[in-house]
Amino acid sequence: MPLDQFLMALILASDAVVHDGEMIGDPTEGALVVLAAKGGLDPESTRADLPRVATLPFDSEYKLMATFHRMQDEGGHDDVRCFVKGAPDQVLARATTALAADDLSPVAIDDPMKERYEAENERLGEQGLRVLATARRDFDPDSFDPNADLLGYMQELTVLTLVGIVDPPRPTAKDAIATAKAAGIRVRMITGDHAVTAAAIATQLGIEGRAITGADFDAMSDDEAAAQIDEIGVLARVTPENKVRLVDTLRKKGAIVAMTGDGVNDAPALKRADIGIAMGITGTEVSKEAGDMILTDDNFATIVKAVELGRGLYDNLTKYIRFQMGVLAGMVIAFLGAAIFNVASGVLFVPLQTLWLNFTTQVFQAVGLGYGKFADDLMDRKPRKADDEILDTWRFAWIAIAGLIMAIGTVGVGWYLDDRYGAAVSRTGALTVFSIFNLVFSFTALDEKRTMFSLEGFSDRKFLLTTGMSIAAIVMGTELNVFNRFFQTTGLTRAQWGACLVIPLGLVAASEAWKWYLRRRAPESQQSLADEPAPTPAPL
């Protein structure tokens, strides 16, 4: 059947295998093999009857693949037939004839034929279809050398078909790209497809920017590339050099660049990027070695989720560090103040009381901050700069002020109770008020800008659990006899508890004043994220 001559190339010039309904190999090749099978050809018997005698593997430079087979031509003569599949423009550039569908006779490719071919390629590409062309060429078996430069044989081809393949984006890709945009991450698509096809897919996904080819990118000077890079969203028909240059251009503009890839030719760009992400399923071993991370499910949405997790972990880590620094500052100043003013004989807490404080309230609140719920607005924040400090000048000032307030309040309560009730009550009161200060300060560290009385602050169950444990530890340390004997504490009266509870309100007032100041500064620092993206190229 004439149709067999067109479908044969889809099977023979592909390596993919479909077995028991499952595809093994490249998905694009799998689609071609399935198409040929639907047309009536059996892939296994076709390959068995026409074994390969040579193979020209696909390369991103010449963008085609060819296989050579011994077979009989239409006239019954033995020859070596080459079947080719590849990019339509590359196949056309190497072709001189096309096979007529009615009688399989070769027809010269003249200007009208080229225009028809290119128009059809454009039409399929605008629909978002991945377009491949197939071709063939016959050789004299006596003169054919399978060990020669096979690329040199890729001339005077006869075009067979144009095939449009539906390659739909993952359902999660569009939402993931929208989330990335909201987080200030610019996504670019790098592909070997035709620019028209790539632009159509990019529009479906919500990737902004115009589409250009790798050749267009090469033609730009470094200054032109830097000036236009923000307008470019898609690079099509790229070479490995294009990918490396894109990474370098973005990094020179100050962007933190993550590059994804799966092929051997992606390795240089993966290595050059700040973060190279190799595909775990379809990726080659070379790309996996070159990458910093391996994406086990080959899903772009997983990258965006990893960004969210990374931001959450960093955010919680900063909360933990700031809390611990503030508490440490308060404890050091309190100890110095007690020694200087001879409060409780200069010993504000005995060693066991210090350990009790460290291993209960401080640990509980630190764990609640470090392992608590991630902030709801993580993916709406502008990416932080690489050189941003966890403790900048303003935060150091706040920690110093908070530590000073905790120390003054603790020493003041200790002095008040020491003067009236003695050292035992003084140390118990100081331990209690400092523990309460720790509790209050942890709410400040939980969110620097949101008020402590916001209902959103009470949505973190882990933090509320650790807070409840801290409150229980504070009460038990003073009110249970077993703890009184072990930690040398004593029960407090209502008036003494009142003194311990009232003093920390000073820290609450200072905290709320600080957050009011930060909220006043927010319009300057929290710009629209969509206006200032941090470019991150990522082929999909």
Give the count of alpha carbons within 13 A of 4, CB side only. Answer: 8
Confidence (pLDDT) at 510: 73
Distance CA 466, CA 238 (A): 54
Give the count of alpha carbons within 13 A of 216, CB side only. Answer: 13
Distance CA 444, CA 231 (A): 42
- 86 neighbors 132 (Cβ within 8 angstroms): yes
Q: Which two tokens stand for residue 526?
A: 């929290």
Which burial class, exposed, middle or buried, applies to 326 when counting CB atoms under 10 A from its CB (0-12, 13-18, 19+)?
buried
Confidence (pLDDT) at 2: 59
Name residues of the chain where pLDDT drops below 50: 1, 523-540
Which burial class, exposed, middle or buried, applies to 38 when counting CB atoms under 10 A from its CB (0-12, 13-18, 19+)?
exposed
Confidence (pLDDT) at 525: 39
The helix (H) or strand (E) run that includes residue 298 is: none
Confidence (pLDDT) at 413: 93
- What are the pLDDT digits (tens) for 442-487? 888 887 666 666 656 677 889 999 999 999 999 999 999 999 999 9
Confidence (pLDDT) at 538: 40
Confidence (pLDDT) at 77: 75
What is the full DSSP assignment across 13-67?
Answer: T---EEETTEEES-HHHHHHHHHHHHTT--HHHHHHHS-EEEEE---TTT-EEEE
Confidence (pLDDT) at 101: 65
Identify the structural domains of the chain with CATH numbers, from first to last: 2-166 (3.40.1110.10), 171-298 (3.40.50.1000), 305-503 (1.20.1110.10)
**Per-residue CA distances from 222 to 219, 243, 250, 349 (Å):** 10, 14, 11, 66
Q: Tokens 């249970």: give the residue.
A: 480
- What are the pLDDT digits (tens) for 212-262? 999 999 999 999 999 999 999 999 988 889 999 999 999 999 899 999 998
Q: Tokens 């799998």: give the residue.
A: 30
Confidence (pLDDT) at 46: 92
CB atoms within 10 A of CB 393: 8
Confidence (pLDDT) at 309: 94
Residue 295 per-residue DSSP state: E
Confidence (pLDDT) at 375: 85
**Per-residue CA distances from 525 to 383, 518, 521 (Å):** 12, 10, 7
Residues whose CB is less than 8 angstroms from the CB of residue 355 and which lie 6 or more positions away in sequence, other chains included: none
Distance CA 50, CA 54 (A): 12
Enumerate the β-bridge partners of residue 67. 55, 83
Confidence (pLDDT) at 532: 39
- What are the pLDDT digits (tens) for 381-422? 888 888 888 888 888 888 898 899 899 999 999 999 999 999
